[in-house]
Chain A
Amino acid sequence: MARKITYQQAINEALDQEMSRDPSVIVMGEDNAGGAGAPGEEDAWGGVLGVTKGLFHKHPGRVLDTPISESGFIGAAVGAACNGLRPVAELMFVDFMGVCLDQIFNQAAKFKYMFGGKAQTPVVIRTMYGAGFRAAAQHSQCLYNVFTHIPGLKVVVPSNPYDAKGLLIQAIRDNDPVIFMEHKVLYTMQGEVPEESYAIPFGEANVLREGDDVTIVAFGRMVNFASEAAAAAQKKGVHCEVIDPRTTSPLDEDTILESVEKTGRLVVVDESNPRCSMASDIAGLVAQKAFGALKAPIELVTAPHVPVPFSDALEDLYVPSVARIEAAIIKAKEYK
């Protein structure tokens, strides 16, 4: 039975159902319960924005609050994954990867390969990303591209509640290290989500809208912006195909390439800074593998090459807008 819940509730439900199904699943992070050692309530926070609320009481002993020691507990999650557990560790904001990246990219990502295939590290690192909260330069970045660069990591960027649940369940069952990127602005997004458990396979794009004129590839929150822009373009007679790859690694290249073969025009929408981004990655892919089909230069709609500004006046300019996407669609379509 499907009913409407939020992205945040979908994530909570995925964690809850997987913890119920598999006793090796544990959850850890800063204030994932909250109130540890304090005189007031237990489970006082359930995560900084309440995403893990309630799991502490439902699954006694399996939700661990951590000191502010990301290198320590993210690394511990990686080690536990090598020794039979399936930890879901929360790195509160992805910006904090700076203090624990070694455990992720030199350790977790490389074990399988370095050890000649003999290790597996089924750890999930849940982390919040993205601009829009006026949270400034160290709490707003969009860094899935950095993880995508690293062989050995899988990277998931759900754009809606249905995908958030199914992809997180897949992430927990997956035997490789997975970076699960949650856009903080999407937490309150509502959507139809089945009550029962289901897994969405990695590397399978979701085509939200079909069209012959322009292909749009977008990630995370930008998928929703792209859909809006495509709807607006439709009114002007431009038919867009909107593709949400859902995972940046593995990447569903076929769906993107087939679409570009059909439309000959590509717009990529990515909230990251533009250099070495998913935008440039998809552009490179299409330039290499569908060059003959292109009828127009590839349009990239990204944040500019600057840190995320604090003031709303600047942050609103920083984040790619529906209007900018629509302009890129029209530009690609009108190119002769």
Chain B
Amino acid sequence: MTSTLNREGLLKAYRTMRTIREFEERVHADFATGEIPGFVHLYAGEEASATGVCMHLDRKDYIASTHRGHGHCIAKGVDPVGMMAEIWGKATGTCKGKGGSMHIADLSVGMLGANGIVGGGGPLICGTALAGKLRGDRSVGVCFFGDGASNQGTIFEAMNLATVWNLPAIFVAENNGYAEATSSNYSVACDNIADRASAFGMPGVIVDGFDFFAVHEAAGEAIERARNGGGPTLLEVKVSRYYGHFEGDQQRYRAAGEVQALRETRDCLLQFRRRVTASGEITEAQLDAIDAEVKALIDDSVAKAKADPKPAAADLMTDVYVSY
């Protein structure tokens, strides 16, 4: 046994991580051709974080995401076909082409949105958690945010508030080492983001973000505690991004070979595959089959996104208010 997950759970985790990876690799390739508009921030390399956390959540649990939101969306159950169309600016997109990569949201699955404002999600997740707490439905709220966002006042305020109100909120700091071109060694005043937890009266946990099982276990504990009325947790996931801050970033601030070394030695998908096949729970063939299915799904999402219509002129003026 590699974890508390049964075979079905393991296959689901792998499928989710593979879907995120395939989605991001494809967006990367298509962006390079100039076909995808706007700012696109890819999550490749960080799949174990979103997946390890969201495996514990269901629809009534909310997550708040970031500008680097595709992985969180997929892990929370947003349809990749709609997401791809959204990124391509099509009427069939998750948000009708009005939001784009940085604003993909689907409240029907508890996904409160990627976010163009760094640190924007912290306060919001306090609110969804408060609603769940007042209803008494044992739901939780999870705020994903980056190392850069960890320095934003909204995040500090949200963590303090979560403890003051004893909210079922989990703060997942995805420390990928950089905020744009700035290293977290420079921007974060303490050694670890998790060190700040004690100042906000909550447990702080550090976990290896390349290791799905480590994330899954640590997130499980935090979420269970929150569901049982034990209050918030700060979980720092140490990870890395495989691509630039956004597509087009030359990444001159990184060390030569930095990403390649990570891909070869620590990649979450590689580690997962090795572990579950070595333990005999899953066969290589089963994983290969998932790879093929996921590739077909993403191929299909791109074909549809390309063929789908753009929003109609009248759509410009709709959806501003519920009533006006």
Contacts and interface: CB of A to CB of B under 8 A. Distances in A.
A309 B313 CA distance: 11
B119 interface: yes
B149 interface: yes
A2 interface: no
B77 interface: no
Contacts of B188: 67
Contacts of A44: 181, 250, 252-253
A40 B177 CA distance: 13
Contact of A41 (B99, B153, B253, B311): B253
10 contacts: A30-B182, A35-B182, A37-B183, A38-B183, A38-B185, A71-B153, A99-B117, A134-B37, A138-B116, A310-B38
B307 interface: no
B191 interface: no
Given A136-B99, A305-B320, A310-B98, A99 B153 contact: yes
B180 interface: yes
A143 interface: no
B102 A139 contact: yes
Report the interface size class on chain A. Answer: 35 or more
B112 to A, nearest CB: 14
Interface residues of B, number: 51
Contacts of B149: 68
A153 B151 CA distance: 28
A41 B254 CA distance: 7
Contacts of B4: none
Interface of A: 30-31, 34-41, 44-45, 48, 65, 67-72, 95-96, 98-99, 133-139, 304-307, 309-314, 317-318
Given A36-B187, A98-B117, A30 B180 contact: yes
Contacts of A305: 320
B116 A139 contact: yes
B103 to A, nearest CB: 6
B264 interface: no
Given A45-B181, A137-B103, A67 B187 contact: yes
A311 B95 CA distance: 10
Given A30-B180, A314-B316, 6 more contacts: A31-B182, A34-B181, A38-B186, A311-B310, A313-B313, A314-B98
Contacts of A36: 181-183, 186-187
B117 A48 contact: no
B285 interface: no
Given A34-B253, A37-B183, A41-B252, A133 B313 contact: no
B154 interface: yes
A156 B244 CA distance: 33
A192 B100 CA distance: 37
B82 to A, nearest CB: 14
| Most chain B CB atoms below 10 A, which of A31, A35, A136, A318 | A136
Given A35-B252, A68-B148, A136-B116, A311 B182 contact: no
